[in-house]
Amino acid sequence: MRIGRRDFLQLLGIAGAASFFTPGAVQAAWGGESDPYEIPDYGNVTLLHMTDSHAQLLPVWWREPDTNIGVGPVLNQTPHLCGKWMLDYYGVTRGTADGYAYSCLDYDTLAHHYGKIGGYAHIASLVKRYRQQLGKRVLLLDGGDTWQGSATSLWTQASDMVGAQNLLGVDDFVGHWEFTYGQDRVQHLVKNELKATFLAQNIFNTTWQEAVFKSYRIHEVSGRRIAVIGQAFPFTPIANPAYLIPDWEFGIHTQHMQKVVRECREKEHADLVVVLSHNGADVDKKMAALVKGIDIILGGHTHDIMGPKPFMVNQTLIINTSTNGKVLARFDLDVGKGRLKGWRFHYLPVFSNLIHPDAEMAAYIEKVRAPYRERLEKPLATTGSLLYRRDNFNGTFDQLLCNALREEMDCEAAFSPGFRWGYCKLPGETITMEDVMGQTAITYPQVTINEYTGAEIKNIMEQVADNIFNPDPYYQQGGDMIRVGNIQYAFNPDEKIQHRITNMRIGGKMVSATRKYKVAGWASMHKSEGKPVWEIFARWLENKKHVEVEKMDLPTLNGDMRSNRGIADPHPYGL
Among 535, 42, 40, CA closest to 335: 42
Beta carbons within 10 angstroms of residue 149's beta carbon: 27
The whole-angstrom separation of Cα 435 and Cα 419 is 15
Residues 6 or more apart from 285 whose CB is under 8 A from it? 73, 74, 311, 313, 318, 473
Q: How many Å is the maximal CA-CA distance in the chain?
A: 76
* pLDDT tens across the length of the chain (575 residues): 333 333 333 333 334 434 456 545 555 554 555 899 999 999 999 999 999 999 999 999 999 999 999 999 999 999 999 999 999 999 999 999 999 999 999 999 999 999 999 999 999 999 999 999 999 999 999 999 999 999 999 999 999 999 999 999 999 999 999 999 999 999 999 999 999 999 999 999 999 999 999 999 999 999 999 999 999 999 999 999 999 999 999 999 999 999 999 999 999 999 999 999 999 999 999 999 999 999 999 999 999 999 899 999 999 999 999 999 999 999 999 999 999 999 999 999 999 999 999 999 999 999 999 999 999 999 999 999 999 999 999 999 999 999 999 999 999 999 999 999 999 999 999 999 999 999 999 999 999 999 999 999 999 999 999 999 999 999 998 789 999 999 999 999 999 999 999 999 999 999 999 999 999 999 999 999 999 999 999 999 999 999 999 999 999 999 888 889 999 987 766 55
Q: Say if residues 152 and 160 touch (Cβ distance below 8 Å).
A: yes
In the chain, the domains with their CATH numbers are 1-38 (no CATH), 46-61+115-366 (3.60.21.10), 377-557 (3.90.780.10)
The whole-angstrom separation of Cα 294 and Cα 315 is 8
Q: Say if residues 244 and 524 touch (Cβ distance below 8 Å).
A: no
Residues 6 or more apart from 436 whose CB is under 8 A from it? 380, 534, 537, 538, 541
The pLDDT, as a whole number, for residue 208 is 94
Backbone phi, psi, residue 148, to 5°: -135, 145
Residues 6 or more apart from 24 whose CB is under 8 A from it? none
* DSSP codes of every residue in 311-356: EEETTEEEEEE-STT-EEEEEEEEEETTEEEEEEEEEEE-BTTTBP
Give the global pTM.
0.94
Beta carbons within 10 angstroms of residue 210's beta carbon: 8
CA distances from 131 to 26, 111, 181 (A): 22, 30, 32
